[in-house]
Structure 1
Amino acid sequence: MGKKTVHVSDFSGAVIGDDADVVRIVVLEHPDLMTGPVQLEALPAEVESIDDAALDVVVVDIFDAHGDGEARRVTLNASEFDALATGTPMADVLKTAERVKPPKTARKAPADKLDYATMEHAGKPHRGKTTDEEAELVRENLDKINERLAAEGIRLIDPANPEHAARYGFPEPAQELTASEG
């Protein structure tokens, strides 16, 4: 059994015969749009006039005493906005206006950043500094952690390895004496 998808214009209800003729329109803002952007489908002929009907608009944020520090966003015709500049053409006003820097946001830790002070990630090789919490966890649970590392195909932690001993706080392994030293 097969399935056939029939596209119908959201504007006229007309059946769109060929999938290649489907025009997808995403409505980002509309006075009646309450739940965020929506997608519509239409015939090419139904949307030919959209470009001709497009408006030159300006979107501004207004910060004044009425907003309690919050901006009011206003969209208006570009010609109406341009008329506000009476001494100098608006194009010149915009060229010399002070640039606005986007607000700084608090830097968040990446969502994929691993917490090596947990049983799930302790002992995995990493470039960062080994925290006291991770080192203690490794020392107290070495067998379990090595079992997990082996299952994940990661190198095991060897307390006799000077690098591992230093990283996780194991006692330094004794240096073997050579025959010439002993």
Structure 2
Amino acid sequence: MGKKTIHVSDFSGTVLQTDDEVVRVVVLEHPDLVTGPVQLEISPTEAEAIDDAALDVAVVEIYDPHGDGEPRRVVLTASEFDAMATETPMAQLLRTAERVRPPKARKTAEKIDYGTIEHAGKPHRGRVTDEEATLVRERLDEVNKRLADAGLRQIDPADPEHAGRYGFPAPDDTTTVPGGNDTSTPDGVPFVTTQATPV
């Protein structure tokens, strides 16, 4: 059994017959709007009525010395605002007034958490955290597969740089003599082997 969605105008309650008749209106500011922007569905005719009723407005910010540095925004009709300029016409005043540079939009780059399996092991300039190093050591195959799939360098525990960065055990530093005899004890102290001479 199918379902049919019926849209009605939020303004008049009129049934909107097709999706093409549904006009979405977002109310950004209104004296009775207390919880932020809302959206309404209306008909194209009702949307035209909004356009016809639109006002030429001036939106200004007032920086009051007693306002704790926060401006208050005021919206008024353009004609009311123009009438306040009694010495020089408002149009001329606006052309010659000092320009205000809009504040630069801050780039809020998403911070990557390298302490998660999703990002652990990726090349980055920051310090490797204990969480990231542990993930790389304990799940190296999984990390390397993800890095390879992304076209990034893989981690090699035998590489001294990688070993130091992610806490892999350093390669064995013991030396051997020809024939494969180890010349150091487990605690790293060299020992001497002697060979008996036949009498």
- TM-score, reference length from structure 1: 0.71
Instruction: Give the corresponding residue for 1:160.
Output: 158
- The 1:21/1:115 distance shift into structure 2, 3 A limit, reads closer
Instruction: Give the corresponding residue for 2:96.
Output: 96
1:150 to 141, 144, 150: 144
Alignment of 1:92-131 (within 5 A): 92-103=92-103, 108=108, 110-111=109-110, 113-116=111-114, 118=115, 120=117, 121-124=119-122, 126=123, 128-129=124-125, 131=127
Q: CA RMSD, aligned part only?
A: 3.3
Supply the distance in 2 between the matched residues of 1:136 and 1:6 (Cα, whole angstroms).
53
Alignment of 1:1-182 (within 5 A): 1-103=1-103, 108=108, 110-111=109-110, 113-116=111-114, 118=115, 120=117, 121-124=119-122, 126=123, 128-129=124-125, 131=127, 133-134=128-129, 138=133, 143-154=137-148, 156-161=154-159, 164=162
Instruction: Give the corresponding residue for 2:195.
Output: none
- TM-score, reference length from structure 2: 0.66
Supply the distance in 1 between the matched residues of 2:106 and 2:120 (Cα, whole angstroms).
28
**Residues 142-167 of structure 1 deviation map (CA, whole Å, 9 limit, x = unaligned):** 64152331353545422433664676
Count residues in correspondence. Answer: 167
Identity %: 59
Letter aligned with residue 125 of structure 2: K
**Residues 14-40 of structure 1 deviation map (CA, whole Å, 9 limit, x = unaligned):** 212232222222222111111222222
- The 1:51/1:135 distance shift into structure 2, 3 A limit, reads closer
Supply the distance in 1 between the matched residues of 2:65 and 2:82 (Cα, whole angstroms).
24
Instruction: State the structure with more CA Rg.
Output: 2
Supply the distance in 2 between the matched residues of 1:17 and 1:67 (Cα, whole angstroms).
51
Supply the distance in 1 between the matched residues of 2:38 and 2:89 (Cα, whole angstroms).
38
Supply the distance in 1 between the matched residues of 2:27 and 2:137 (Cα, whole angstroms).
58
5+ residue gaps, structure 1: 175-182
